[in-house]
Chains A and B, each alone.
Chain A
Amino acid sequence: MLAALGVFALVEAARLRDGWQGARLMPAVVGMVLVALGIAHLGLPAAPAAAAVGMEARRRVLAMFSTLALYVAALPVLGFLPATALFILILLAWLGEFSWPVTLGTTLVVAVASHVLFQRWLGMPLPSGPFGR
């Protein structure tokens, strides 16, 4: 952890070449603070075993995060409606122990409703993917 902070500090120390005193001021200050804090970390008690989180729990978290990340990545490729539907479907099926009709039904409702609300009604320029507007 402290290594990370130290690195950060060095990063902006390098960046200090940006412009002149005006724009350099804050980054310099923050940089110095970060270095100081990085050093201060050495005085901390050893990190508490990150609250004994089981492997299974970790895997769940990772799974959810990756699903989310994939969804976001898929948005420009598949377009809002399909990607969202897929996303909701996967999560519901995995997380909830609902029957298939409920899962599918909810997915459809949520995906379509959000499409109508956000894309049509509010006019947000969400990616449309290959299936047209």
Chain B
Amino acid sequence: MDTVGLLLQGFAQALTPQNLLFALLGSVLGTLVGVLPGIGPTSGIAILLPLTSFLPPTPAIIMLAAIYYGAMYGGSTTAILVNVPGEVASVVTTMDGYQMARQGRAGPALAIAAISSFVAGTLGLVGLTFFAPPLADLALRIGPPEYFGLVVLAFSVVVSMSGPSLVKGLSAAALGALVALVGLDPMSGVRRFTLGTTTLLGGVDFIAVIIGLFAITEALLGVEQRVGAVALARLGRLLPTREEMSRCLATMVRATGVGFALGLLPGCTPGAISFISYDVERRWSRTPERFGRGAIEGVAAPEGANNATTSAGFVPLFALGLPATPALAVLLSGLMIYGLQPGPLLFEKQAAFVWTVIASMYVGNVMLLVLNLPLVGLWAQLCRVPYAMMAPLILLFSVLGAFSVRNSLTDVGMALVFGALGYGMVKLGYPTAPLVLALILTPMLEQALRQSLGMSHGDPLILVTRPGAAVLIAAGLTLTAWTLIARHRR
């Protein structure tokens, strides 16, 4: 197939000093932007887009793609170091990553995040390279009923994340579901739970919730317990042990699979995907109790899944012109302004351009690895900074991050509310993960359900008469039942 040849040509282009430079610049900027909580890939690309406007098309696109990957990666750095997810997809990374940091193992956590991201991202790109058009077509066949099945499956993760008390876990989830419903119903425009104000009309934003629930709660807990610094133990080695690496290898492959497959579906958010990947990894492991306490696979899985999803997101983008996430939508408009006409014709009409971009994405992945591994040591040192200095900074960035999502102080207020709530939840033994997961999944569930009903004139049987949907729902129910039984036995 000509593909390899074209790819090599693309590499030739991508490896020119000028393009390399821009890839580097993009990676750095993207990472920096991603590190800032709340300023995730979407805002990052939107903010940095004007900077690329004075460049010729190819380097500009290369830079934009690098920014995207960088931003996805940057979010995990703060997630590990200070329990502040840089964006929704990094939430899961906090669960084991932060624990590792507290044990003085921030180094290995960061390193594995970088490595896993690289491996998964690259493998994902391979998928993109060779299978883009057929994959895109496959993705099209997933319609609302199948989505519903998928979300049901994802909800089974809620049960397994509930911790010791199922009731508390489910309550957290129900709360999350309720919060997700606040605001203008995106499908019918009806106001829900807005209590007559315009502020709540826009609904509650994920990022604000996450910042509150994680960053602020953690800061409050830190003050309560008078922690000296994030790392409660001595800083150990900087890289994972050989044994840890070999364990993670399989993890990375699994995560790539999950991340890539689900990432192909427009509308399946990276947040949900990272949760699913984490859960898959946990179920697969022979020692699931380690998860949540600093299991290195718990970092490798979501990070890998993230990057695989990122790569997969480009499939519908290039092949169909459909952005799978808001960040990609901005990227798309940037691409179009530069003359890229996405669609199946893309590979024919503008082959050179496309392959250069794809090649540079490979390069970008490598670059991120190269950039970040050495920096791991530096970042890890941050864990030793006295908490007295970190806490104000964390709070400041929390405020900025919450604000930056929609440029509104209301979101900051929201973050505060959830910060307090999170503190309360932790103290009373309610797990926070189900809340976040429910927050992510409920809108998806609702849309899928209502759209399916719309398709069938209100007949709920559509969910079981379509094979894909039926299978997924059955799988979800089975998984949930299985988890419940397993818990009971304990």
The interface stretch among B95-103, B285-293, B403-411 is B403-411
Cβ contacts under 8 Å, A88 to chain B: 392, 396
Question: 1/0 per position for A1-17, CB-CB distance to B under 8 A?
Answer: 10001001001100100
**Is there an interface contact between A91 and B392, defined as CB atoms closer than 8 Å?**
yes
CA gap between A18 and B400 in the complex, in Å: 34
By a CB distance below 8 angstroms, the chain B residues around A60 are 223-224, 226
Tell me which of A19, A33, A65, A75 has the highest count of chain B C-beta atoms within 10 A of its own C-beta.
A65
> Are the CB atoms of B396 and A95 closer together than 8 Å?
no
**B450 at interface by CB-CB < 8 Å:** yes
Would you list which residues of chain A between 48 and 80 have a CB under 8 Å from chain B? 48, 50-51, 53, 57-58, 60-61, 64-65, 68-69, 71-72, 75-76
From known contacts A23-B185, A65-B220, infer whether A71 and B399 are also in contact, taking CB-CB under 8 Å: yes
B171 touches A5 (CB 8 A): yes
Contact B407 A124 (CB under 8 A): yes
* B47→A12 contact, CB < 8 A: no
Give the chain B neighbours of A33 by CB distance below 8 A.
Answer: 170, 174, 177
**Cβ of A30 < 8 Å from any Cβ of B?**
yes
State in angstroms the CA–CA spacing of A126 and B396 once bound together.
13
Grouping DSSP codes into helix (H, G, I), strand (E, B) and loop, the B interface class, with mixed when no group exceeds half, is helix
Chain B positions within 8 Å of A26 at CB level: 177, 181, 442, 445-446, 449
Q: A30, B429: Cβ atoms under 8 Å? A: no
Query: What are 29 of the A-B contact pairs (CB < 8 Å)?
Result: A15-B192, A19-B185, A19-B188, A23-B187, A23-B190, A26-B177, A26-B181, A26-B446, A27-B181, A30-B442, A33-B177, A34-B174, A41-B167, A43-B167, A44-B165, A53-B224, A57-B224, A58-B224, A61-B223, A64-B220, A65-B220, A65-B420, A69-B416, A72-B409, A75-B399, A91-B388, A95-B391, A96-B388, A106-B389
- B residues whose Cβ falls under 8 Å from a Cβ of A: 47, 165, 167-168, 170-171, 174-175, 177-178, 181, 185, 187-188, 190-193, 216, 219-220, 223-226, 386-389, 391-393, 395-396, 399-400, 403-404, 407, 409, 412-413, 416, 419-420, 423, 427-429, 442, 445-446, 449-450
